[in-house]
Amino acid sequence: ALERDTQLCTSLINGESSLRDVLTVLDERGKASKAMFDAIQGHHHRLRTLVGEGESAQSEWRAAVEDAGELRRYAQAAAEISTRQWTQQGIDWCAAFAVDFFHGGGKERLLRKEAKRLSLSELQTTACSESRSAPIELLDVGSCGSLFNGVPGLVPTALDLCPSEGSDTVYKSDFLSLEVVPMGSDQVVVPHPHHPAGELQCLPAASFDAVVMSLVLSYLPSPPLRAAMV
């Protein structure tokens, strides 16, 4: 742990911190990390216990996620996880893949491959070429924070069961209960007393180019719910 913290290591070498001080810091970090992972694992265990795989899975799910206090504790731990390097690397990969696909020729390559598979003699790529400069509408499902904000080329819409405290760009929404309305309709957001961005109640069909479900499917406790989400 000390090797990964250059600032703490330098402080020890320069005599600015004693070995006891450094060990105390590392011990506190270890306890905080354990509490964070215990909160996440405990929440997952609770969901698996309360939600089965039968026909009542949807209603059991809705009942299981009504505990606001439990969701806030999980959201706080998830927000901490999102600051870890491996999490950011995953977000960076998702963003880079989306940008390359829509702006870097990935979409055209896929269409050519599909045309070849279908033995088509011609492929219209004009629309693809014209769309290379268009912003990529990205739906981030299960986002504890605004992880894709500021990424060039992306226009993210983030939603979560319980957005992290103070987040004013992440909508509160249960994706499994989110209504999909006809294409061209307006999305509906209503005020929420605890989440500044509001509660997202519906989205128009075909309104996004890409959907990110980072660590979301593993959150759902049963195969029927995972199937319903995708």
Q: Answer yes or no: are the C-beta atoms of 102 and 209 closer than 8 Å.
A: yes
d(CA 120, CA 205): 29
Question: SS3 for 196?
Answer: coil
Q: What is the pLDDT of residue 129?
A: 53
Question: SS3 for 80?
Answer: helix
Q: What is the pLDDT of residue 211?
A: 94
d(CA 160, CA 222): 19
Residue 65 backbone dihedrals phi, psi, to 5 degrees: -100, 20
Q: What is the pLDDT of residue 159?
A: 94
| Reported pTM | 0.78
Q: What is the pLDDT of residue 120?
A: 58
pLDDT tens digit sequence for 16-50 = 878 787 778 777 877 877 888 888 888 888 888 88
Question: SS3 for 212?
Answer: strand
pLDDT tens digit sequence for 52-63 = 888 888 889 989
d(CA 209, CA 25): 44
Low-confidence ranges of the chain (pLDDT < 70): 1-4, 119-131
Q: What is the pLDDT of residue 167?
A: 85
Q: What is the pLDDT of residue 175?
A: 92
CB contact set of 169 (below 8 Å; sequence gap of 6+): 146, 149, 158, 197
Q: What is the pLDDT of residue 119?
A: 67
Q: Is 163 exposed, middle or buried (0-12, 13-18, 19+ CB in 10 A)?
A: buried
Q: Answer yes or no: are the C-beta atoms of 206 and 91 closer than 8 Å.
A: no
Q: What is the pLDDT of residue 128?
A: 53
CA 120 to chain centre: 38
